[in-house]
Amino acid sequence: MSKIRFNALGEILNRKPVRIEETGKRSEMFGVNVFNEDAMRQYLTKDAYKSVQDAIFKGVKIDRKIADQVAASMKDWAMSKGATHYTHWFQPLTGATAEKHDAFFETIEGGRAVEKFDGGQLVQQEPDASSFPNGGIRNTFEARGYTAWDPTSAAFIYGTTLCIPTIFVAYTGEALDNKAPLLRALQAMDQAATAVAKYFDKNVSKVNATLGWEQEYFLIDSALAASRPDITLTGRTLLGHSPAKGQQLDDHYFGSIPNRVMSFMRDLEQECMLLGIPVKTRHNEVAPNQFELAPIFEEANLAVDHNSLLMDVMEKVSKRHHYKVLFHEKPFAGINGSGKHNNWSLSTDTGVNLLSPGKTPMKNLQFLTFFVNTIKAVCDYEELVRASIASASNDHRLGANEAPPAIISVFIGSQLSAVLDELENVTKGKLSPEEKTDLKLNIVGKIPEILLDNTDRNRTSPFAFTGNKFELRAVGSWSNCAGPMTVLNTIVAKQLKEFKKEVDVLVDKKNLKKDEAVFNILREYIKASKKIRFEGDGYGDAWQKEAKKRGLSNNKTTPEALKAQISKEAIALFEEMEVMSKVEVEARHEIELDEYTLRIQIESRTLGDIARNHVIPTAIRYQNTLIENVKGLKEIFGNNFTKQASEQIDLIEKISNHIAEINSKVNSMINERKKANKLEGQKAADAYCNKIKPFFDDIRYHCDKLEMMIDDELWPLIKYREMLFFK
């Protein structure tokens, strides 16, 4: 066994297990380290508490004097829990989180010091932010970027630091983060959905978009992961022969959780409880060493923050348990990748889920309204939805091993499809009393029963209705939920806005009653969006042909998919809904293209390095051993040695061929990379996608063949069978 593999496995064998004991009830631990409503009631004055609540629920600006009171109370609370520093915690366009810690400490005259944290420090900070991606919004010498407190997401303590969730904007006001556009999209959704919800309940004054994400991930022993340069640098394996046993027996899915993994999960869940992340579900996923964690639904902004925080916490907790957590969508070839299913719905301040039918025809018509409008929105902006989940890493996952394809479609189940087909044939214009009664009782009235018995599931659907919510299944496990949630809420808000306009026209100018107008508009929407609905196998060639006939896009790669972001329609959409300006949209497009290019560039360089500095030298060393063996056989058997040495000679020849192919293809890949590096933007991304990335599979093929030919004791890299089946 090679020294690297021996050392990695040896470290594991000599390691003492980490044992975590659960302490206390989950309900008693939940939110202990969060400046939540209970903490505010205890530490804030009555006026300060009311001001913060008005900021959260009504968007009222907090007065500077009140901000000073809130800051002082927040500091006292944080210091009572051992905090020594504070930070504005934000989500720049890197996809990760960012923080700069400052102490509650200032010097005063007389050589003395005090703990200080005032309203100005709470509300706004000015980090040196020149190195964050900005897409040309500002020059490097204009380094100023501002973080501003988001009171709708509660501050929390992590370690000894008070973390204050914030937005991040440029000096000129453009958003430089994922949170600001999301907040604008949620505001647009609130306004549009509330206006429509009032058709059915005048008491509705606010609508929240809710999100329940499902985080899939792999756990690999940290020593084994550290011995693989590809995992260390790219988050995935760039080569490695599939083991004899993978996931084909389905014995890992929902199986008994290994003790060591359970210890990690308990530790993680305790951290989550303290931070107010409402994790509820844990289980083995399909692939070996793959797992899933899911929380209870929350308001979308808070859910996005919690998922970003969770990923950071997972990495820290995994180190304590000598694990490396892999969020890459496809870290291992031949087995399932990891997604982050985004379960999305809408709820009112009156406690109603707008995507769930009720006990009356009116409630069911309300359900149909939001249900059909969502489908119509996805149909009209399917390319933008595809762009929102595009990334270099997610490209590996889409369309294979239970991941949905790149073609965006909507699955609603055969029963609901039948309902929409019936509604499509409703009489246009005014309805007779008999028609209206039949419609409400026999079609709309049956929806609750249909949903109760509707157990259809289509694991190949990118966007599926699953009872009382839509599940955007195409989001990758490494992604920040803010991107797809910003797009989804924006397009549905736009659609609801248009719906209300059309209904009001029919009521005011055509003298139709409100429910008749709603039925008329929904009827047209059902027809217009029929092409996006698909109930079959999303993996088959037949669907690709059918989707093309229907006029649906099939943008298989990220450079291709991202073009939809800067279309005239997309820019007009974001500007009209006041979610992003043209400058902000174009900046994000540039950043995501550059990120794609850089990730493929890093993978290309890493693969070339491993192939030339690990695989080829090992192959030559083993080949030399075989050559010495053949020479020995010749000494024993003389000129008649070829029969006895035929297998060795054949192996030497095959190894030589694989070495030559690897070297040749690495050279060609490097030459193409040199050409691509002279390009920028879309051209650079296209070159890396179409000219450089195709070499990956060819180089991998020959490396993986050598892995199966060369003596196991010589092979320098930890193998799949060792990583995936070592608990």
pLDDT, one tens digit per residue, over 178-220 is: 999 999 999 999 999 999 999 999 999 999 999 999 999 999 9
**111, pLDDT greater than 50:** yes
pLDDT of residue 268: 96
Alpha helices in 556-615 (DSSP H): 558-561, 568-576, 582-610
Q: Which residues contact 707 (CB under 8 A, 6 or more apart)?
A: 239, 240, 241, 715, 717, 719
Burial per residue of 224-244, b for 16 or more beta-carbon CB atoms within 10 angstroms, e otherwise? bbbbbbbbebbbbbbbbbebe
**479, pLDDT greater than 80:** yes
**141, pLDDT greater than 60:** no
- What are 8-65's pLDDT values in tens digits? 666 666 666 666 565 668 788 999 999 999 999 999 999 999 999 988 888 788 888 8
> 530, 531, 557: which is closest to 424 by C-alpha?
530
Mean pLDDT (whole number) for 71-76: 93
Residues of the chain above pLDDT 90, percent? 66
**Which tokens in the block code for residue 517?**
């107008």
pLDDT of residue 130: 61
Q: Answer whether 81's CB lies under 8 Å from 33's CB.
A: yes
**Which tokens in the block code for residue 716?**
């320098």
Residue 599, CB half-sphere, CA atoms under 13 Å: how many? 22
- What are 573-587's pLDDT values in tens digits? 999 999 999 999 999
**470, pLDDT greater than 90:** yes
Q: Which bin fits 65, alpha (ψ -120 to 50), beta or left (φ > 0)? A: alpha
**431, pLDDT greater than 80:** no
The overall average pLDDT reported for the chain is 89
Cα(717)–Cα(504) distance, integer angstroms: 67
- What are 545-595's pLDDT values in tens digits? 999 999 999 999 999 999 999 999 999 999 999 999 999 999 999 999 999
Mean pLDDT (whole number) for 645-670: 94
Q: What is the DSSP string of 664-727?
A: HHHHHHHHHHHHHTT--HHHHHHHIIIIITHHHHHHHHHHHHHHHHS-TTT--S--HHHHHT--
Residues of the chain above pLDDT 70, percent? 91
CA 282-477-534 angle, 5° bins? 95
Q: Answer whether 270's CB lies under 8 Å from 22's CB.
A: yes
The pTM (predicted TM-score) of the whole model is 0.93
**Which tokens in the block code for residue 300?**
């979308």
pLDDT of residue 426: 73
Query: Model confidence at 541, in pLDDT bands (50, 70, 90)?
Result: confident
Query: Model confidence at 112, in pLDDT bands (50, 70, 90)?
Result: confident
Q: Answer whether 547's CB lies under 8 Å from 407's CB.
A: yes
pLDDT of residue 3: 66
Query: Model confidence at 171, in pLDDT bands (50, 70, 90)?
Result: confident
Cα(244)–Cα(702) distance, integer angstroms: 18
pLDDT of residue 136: 72
Q: What is the DSSP string of 464-509?
A: EE-SSSEEETT-BTTS-THHHHHHHHHHHHHHHHHHHHHHHHHHHH
Query: Parallel, antiparallel, or unpaired: how do β-strands 145-149 and 279-284 relate?
Result: unpaired
Residue 79: CB atoms within 10 Å: 16
pLDDT of residue 455: 46
Query: Model confidence at 450, in pLDDT bands (50, 70, 90)?
Result: low
Mean pLDDT (whole number) for 610-626: 96
Q: Which of 210-224, 523-537, 634-648 has the lowest mean pLDDT?
A: 634-648
pLDDT of residue 12: 66
**142, pLDDT greater than 60:** no
